[in-house]
With several copies, the nearest count.
Chain A
Amino acid sequence: MDFGTMMGMLLSGYRISIIIFAVTLVGSIPLGMLVALGRLSKFKPLSLLMQLFISVLRGTPLMLQMFAVSFMPYYVFGLKTDANFPMIAVLISFVINYAAYFAEIYRSGIQSIPRGQYEAAEVLGYSSRQTFQRIVLPQVVKRVLPAMGNEVVTLVKDTSLAFSLGVLEMFTQARAIVTSQRTMAAFAVAALIYWVTCLIIEYVMRHIEKRLDYYHD
């Protein structure tokens, strides 16, 4: 196999990886916030439910969650699914799973905002919603950024799990090349592509960190 063919295969897989990555971020970043807010809610049943949600989704392998999402419609509800469904199942599972991880990070960030900030907002008459959106959230963003970095970088590589449902992302392409070509070269290239992706993420993160550096408390 020549280098061009190999790169072609890897990059076609990379496209899928990036789609999973992007959709997961776009979906789980806000969803995680809702989960975190539910988790911190004073309405006990909601809080406990969210605690259970977080616990189960963090506590069981993502691969099994994908199986559950993918095969539940047929095995539980008797609904036939089609060829597009595995990708949809992958995306749903990833979004939900990462929302659970993000929720825990948000929770710690929200709890770390000094009480004085809430008190000032309360006295000024901000509603809980306004307090959250205007006072808490912008400060939380700054605080959770490093922990988010870890998860986002993990997500890049977790996209390889999509193969469990037959979705051909980059790592699986690399694996196929490795087994058929009997050299680890494709893995090395894949690792490089992952790394470059993570470097870009790190760069973006650092950029945001810098932009938020205009203040400290």
Chain B
Amino acid sequence: GNSGATSSSAGSSSASTSSFDGNFVLGFDQDFPPYGYVGDDGSYTGFDIDLAQAVCDREGWKLVPTPISWDAKDTLLNSGQITCIWNGFTIEGREDGYAFTDPYMENRQVVVVPASSDVQQLSDLAGKNVITQADSAALDVLSEGGSQEELGKSFGNLQTIDNYNTAFMMLESGQVDAIAIDYPVAVFNIGDKTSEFRILDENLNSEHFGVGFAKTDDGAQLAKTVEADLQALDSEGTAKELCEKYADQGVSYDLWCLPKA
């Protein structure tokens, strides 16, 4: 990399590195609404994808949203097949592995139970079967070394699944008692079935989303560029607009946390 990469302030210059050719390949898990998923028209949509589109518009990049297999995300990033992971991507616990932007969004992990459940607060979960997505932030929080390790240990069983859709079916049919999940994802999946599911008032934790790039000089430089663009989008009000667009899916501008430029 070179030292002239502090172009973050202007927000109009593109990264001038050899490996980045202006195709902004955004790796995401398409099973992760509302951040990235398949819209009703069949094209990729979601809060993070719209946000990335706005960044690319500013930079004159071409956005290439690329669904990836979560197993391959690091390999893809390191080998340059994707430019970044931008997908409700939790920073906490991953600081060492990626070149992150500053956190732009606060997120919280919550617990969903059936409306009729006798579980009212986190402590009621003792001895219950709780499920969460494999390699999710919620899982990190509840397992060894996480901030809710003790709670996790009190569960009867902490299971994982590859897809929250299945988790909700399991919850509905009685195979699990609760789901630990990102708040917006919970809202999305509950949809209009608010009479059947209930989100506990008590949060598991709060954490932050960032955009993850490869931990290289190029990656760090791109992270700075994107970070500056996000700040610009915030100041022009685009960020707020997008939050409102996805408000019914649990996104809220209250959670926007990127420090102003």
Do B173 and A71 have beta carbons less than 8 Å apart?
yes
Complex alpha-carbon distance, A189 and B168, angstroms? 21
Complex alpha-carbon distance, A5 and B143, angstroms? 14
Interface segment, A81-89, A91-99, A122-130, A193-201?
A81-89
For A161-189 the 0/1 string (1 means CB < 8 A from B) is 00111101000110111111011100000
Interface of B is mostly: mixed
Q: Report if B9 contacts A (CB, 8 A).
A: no
Given A178-B165, A179-B73, does the pair A80, B174 have CB atoms closer than 8 Å?
Answer: yes
Complex alpha-carbon distance, A63 and B81, angstroms? 18
Interface segment, B55-63, B64-72, B99-107, B231-239?
B64-72
For B25-38 the 0/1 string (1 means CB < 8 A from A) is 00000111100011
Q: Report if A26 contacts B (CB, 8 A).
A: no
Do A168 and B159 have beta carbons less than 8 Å apart?
yes
Q: Which residues of B contact A9 (CB under 8 A)?
A: 38, 42
Given A86-B170, A179-B31, does the pair A163, B42 have CB atoms closer than 8 Å?
Answer: no
Do A168 and B67 have beta carbons less than 8 Å apart?
yes
| Pick from A6, A63, A85, A179: contact of B175, CB under 8 Å | A85
Do A182 and B189 have beta carbons less than 8 Å apart?
yes
Given A172-B160, A182-B191, does the pair A81, B69 have CB atoms closer than 8 Å?
Answer: no
Do A163 and B129 have beta carbons less than 8 Å apart?
no
Given A9-B38, A166-B159, does the pair A83, B81 have CB atoms closer than 8 Å?
Answer: yes
Q: Which residues of B contact A75 (CB under 8 A)?
A: 75, 79, 169, 173
* A residues apposed to B, CB below 8 Å: 1-2, 5-6, 8-9, 63, 67, 70-71, 73-75, 80-83, 85-86, 163-166, 168, 172-173, 175-180, 182-184
Residues of B102-144 at the interface with A, using a CB-CB cut-off of 8 Å, are 129, 131, 134-135, 140
Do A182 and B97 have beta carbons less than 8 Å apart?
yes
| Pick from B72, B74, B172: contact of A166, CB under 8 Å | B72
Q: Give B86 Cβ to nearest chain A Cβ, in Å.
A: 15
Do A179 and B37 have beta carbons less than 8 Å apart?
yes
Residues of B153-170 at the interface with A, using a CB-CB cut-off of 8 Å, are 156-157, 159-170
Do A175 and B174 have beta carbons less than 8 Å apart?
no
Given A82-B175, A166-B131, does the pair A1, B42 have CB atoms closer than 8 Å?
Answer: yes
Given A67-B72, A166-B131, does the pair A86, B81 have CB atoms closer than 8 Å?
Answer: yes
| Pick from B42, B69, B79, B129: contact of A8, CB under 8 Å | B42
Given A164-B69, A164-B72, does the pair A176, B79 have CB atoms closer than 8 Å?
Answer: no
Complex alpha-carbon distance, A81 and B171, angstroms? 10
| Pick from A5, A81, A184: contact of B81, CB under 8 Å | A81
Q: Which residues of A contact B258 (CB under 8 A)?
A: none
Interface centre among B41, B131, B165 (most CB of A within 10 A): B165
Instruction: Considering the complex, give the chain B residue whose CB is closest to the CB of A8.
Output: B42
| Pick from A67, A73, A80: contact of B75, CB under 8 Å | A67
Q: Which residues of A contact B38 (CB under 8 A)?
A: 1, 9, 173, 176-177, 179-180
Do A176 and B30 have beta carbons less than 8 Å apart?
yes
For B12-52 the 0/1 string (1 means CB < 8 A from A) is 00000000000000000011110001111110000000000
Q: Report if B1 contacts A (CB, 8 A).
A: no
Complex alpha-carbon distance, A165 and B166, angstroms? 7
Complex alpha-carbon distance, A12 and B176, angstroms? 21
Complex alpha-carbon distance, A8 and B131, angstroms? 21
Do B42 and A172 have beta carbons less than 8 Å apart?
no
Q: Report if B259 contacts A (CB, 8 A).
A: no
Do B72 and A165 have beta carbons less than 8 Å apart?
yes
Q: Which residues of B contact A71 (CB under 8 A)?
A: 75, 79, 169, 173
Do A166 and B166 have beta carbons less than 8 Å apart?
yes
Q: Which residues of B contact A83 (CB under 8 A)?
A: 81, 129, 156-157, 175-176
